[in-house]
Amino acid sequence: MEQLSARNILKGTIKEVNKGPIGAEVTIELSGGIELTSFITKASAERLGLKEGVEAYAVIKATSVMIGKD
């Protein structure tokens, strides 16, 4: 799959993977030091071989992004 409708595909490096019995919490560091946290299944974290230092992407559908303001 070379293209995806998701509007937000951001390159980064996995910083931490914290696995539970079903879910996993994955932190990815984007350029500029921005960190994003993701909740995926443990099965996906293992299938993709996610661990600290692995290059990866955060992928986010536009309908899932909210906007806040001060």
Give the binding site for a copy of itself (CB under 8 A): 1-10, 14, 18-26, 28, 30-34, 36-41, 43-45, 47-50, 54-70
- Cβ of residue 57: shortest distance to a copy of itself, in angstroms? 4
- Cβ of residue 65: shortest distance to a copy of itself, in angstroms? 4
DSSP state of 46: H
Question: In this structure, how many other beta carbons lie within 10 angstroms of the beta carbon of residue 54?
Answer: 15
Q: Which residues contact 67 (CB under 8 A, 6 or more apart)?
A: none
Which C-beta is closer to a copy of itself: that of 52 or that of 57?
A: 57
CA 25 to chain centre: 9
